[in-house]
């Protein structure tokens, strides 16, 4: 070596402890100045974006999803399209480079807030609701509120542009996000959401042009307390048969999981905090697959209280914020092995979780756990995908 050192190569790999023992014996020789094991160094990838320090869900908190370690293996792929079925999008400068055109599936002009029904403009005009509009929705004032820019926030967690020196980063540094607008004032009907999910993965919908960018993941950060309907289950079945995963927010009512997270095949995501505790608002129960960061999540947004204003960043809580962490992790898995099936993705994702901390409200008990198998571990999930890719079977089991 340069500097006059020498490298001794052994005939086979040994443990760190054995290498240390050999080095100590060599150094005990009078003619040896020093001896120490050779070792591997790894890339240390972390975004340079100024708000990244506030995005605990990617980093090193107890409840974080270990994206920093996952990024050492993969940072995403422009071949992986992720549909965000939500309120639409704002062309935020920290997000626009990853956005596809998408489609607006809000069919009722009364609640669409853009003057018409379904059209090719998936941008978010705002979803604020006045007291009068709320009473038009269901006779109550429960819907009254400012515009949420919910879809833009969800999309930013998945794929805000990294290392551009503004804002924060997304879980995927390379991806394409397909905004599918399904929520307007007072939410959106199941019929619009069902059509949108099928369209997102390339299935035909009457009266709507075919989607030229079929998604491999459909993120649905929305829900209801209703049980899974026949129509919603049929749509999710069709999406999965098409080869796409459905990632669904568990809901924020502190109760049992409702549709679509309760439907068979959907990946149901609860919200946890930095300590690995269940967020007080998060739905829970036997139907949950796993927990992911959903408290104090910083992502792309807009300053407008009603109509759009300046682009900005906001800190939100919700299972809606947890689900896109899982969608981003699946995007990393597909970047490593594009042949993974929805079934194998679900198996590997759930099999790679980290155990909840002892004493956590999500910790496993004799009767099970409220928050699924464990905490999202993007690094372990990506490693499982990498192993499947090296095995050459696309994540499909073989045997006789």
- d(CA 343, CA 312) in angstroms, rounded, equals 37
Label the pairing between strands 290-293 and 311-316: unpaired
150 in active site: yes
- d(CA 220, CA 183) in angstroms, rounded, equals 11
Q: Which residues pair with 302 in a beta bridge?
A: 311
- d(CA 293, CA 310) in angstroms, rounded, equals 27
For residue 334, the surrounding DSSP H or E stretch is: helix 319-336
86 in active site: yes
Helix ranges (DSSP H) in 182-316:
190-200, 230-241
- d(CA 199, CA 102) in angstroms, rounded, equals 10
> Of 98, 150, 153, 325, which one is the catalytic site residue?
150
Tell me the C-alpha to C-alpha distance, in Å, between residue 287 and each of 27, 127, 326, 329, 368: 58, 30, 16, 20, 11
Q: Which residues pair with 220 in a beta bridge?
A: 248
Tell me the C-alpha to C-alpha distance, in Å, between residue 288 and each of 118, 243, 340, 362, 398: 33, 22, 22, 11, 28
Q: Decide: helix, strand or coil at residue 177.
A: strand
Q: Are 178 and 213 in contact (CB under 8 A)?
A: yes
Q: Are 193 and 184 in contact (CB under 8 A)?
A: no
Single out the residue of 144, 125, 323, 146 nearest to residue 220, CA to CA.
323
320 in active site: yes
Report residue 180 CA to chain centroid gap. Answer: 16
> Of 320, 327, 344, 360, which one is the catalytic site residue?
320
> Of 49, 77, 86, 174, which one is the catalytic site residue?
86
Q: Which residues pair with 300 in a beta bridge?
A: 313
Strand locations in 68-115, DSSP E? 76-86, 103-104
Q: Decide: helix, strand or coil at residue 353.
A: coil
Q: Decide: helix, strand or coil at residue 109.
A: helix
Annotated catalytic residues are: 86, 150, 320
């Amino acid at each position: 070596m340069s500097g006059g050192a020498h490298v001794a190569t052994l005939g086979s790999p040994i443990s760190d402890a054995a290498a240390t023992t050999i080095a100590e014996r060599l150094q005990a020789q009078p003619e040896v100045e020093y001896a120490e094991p050779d070792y591997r160094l790894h890339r240390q990838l972390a975004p340079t974006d100024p708000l990244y320090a506030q995005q605990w869900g990617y980093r090193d908190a107890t409840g974080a999803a270990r994206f920093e370690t996952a990024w050492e293996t993969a940072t995403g792929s422009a071949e992986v399209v992720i549909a965000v079925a939500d309120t639409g999008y704002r062309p935020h400068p920290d997000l626009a480079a990853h956005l596809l055109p998408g489609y607006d599936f809000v069919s009722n002009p009364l609640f669409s807030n853009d003057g018409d029904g379904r059209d090719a403009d998936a941008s978010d005009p705002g979803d604020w609701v006045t007291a009068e509009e709320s009473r038009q929705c269901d006779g109550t004032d429960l819907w009254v509120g400012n515009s949420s820019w919910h879809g833009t926030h969800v999309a930013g967690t998945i794929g805000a542009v990294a290392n551009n020196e503004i804002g924060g980063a997304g879980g995927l540094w390379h991806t394409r996000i397909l905004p599918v607008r399904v929520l307007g004032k007072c939410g959106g009907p199941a019929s619009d959401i069902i059509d949108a999910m099928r369209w997102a993965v390339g299935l035909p919908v009457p009266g709507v042009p075919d989607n030229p960018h079929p998604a491999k993941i459909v993120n649905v950060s929305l829900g209801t307390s209703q049980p899974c309907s026949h129509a919603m289950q049929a749509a999710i079945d069709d999406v999965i048969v098409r080869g796409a995963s459905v990632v669904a927010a568990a809901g924020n009512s502190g109760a049992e999981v409702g549709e679509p997270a309760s439907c068979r095949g959907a990946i149901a995501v609860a919200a946890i905090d930095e300590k690995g505790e269940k967020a007080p608002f998060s739905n829970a129960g036997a139907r949950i697959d796993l927990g992911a960061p959903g408290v104090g999540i910083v992502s792309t947004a807009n300053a407008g209280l009603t109509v759009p204003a300046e682009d900005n960043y906001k800190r939100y809580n919700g299972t809606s914020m947890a689900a896109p962490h899982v969608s981003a992790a699946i995007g990393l898995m597909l970047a490593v092995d594009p042949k993974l099936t929805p079934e194998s993705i679900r198996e590997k994702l759930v099999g790679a979780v980290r155990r909840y901390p002892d004493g956590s409200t999500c910790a496993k008990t004799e009767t099970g756990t409220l928050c699924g198998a464990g905490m999202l571990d993007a690094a372990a999930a990506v490693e499982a995908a990498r192993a499947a890719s090296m095995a050459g079977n696309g994540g499909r089991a073989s045997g006789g």
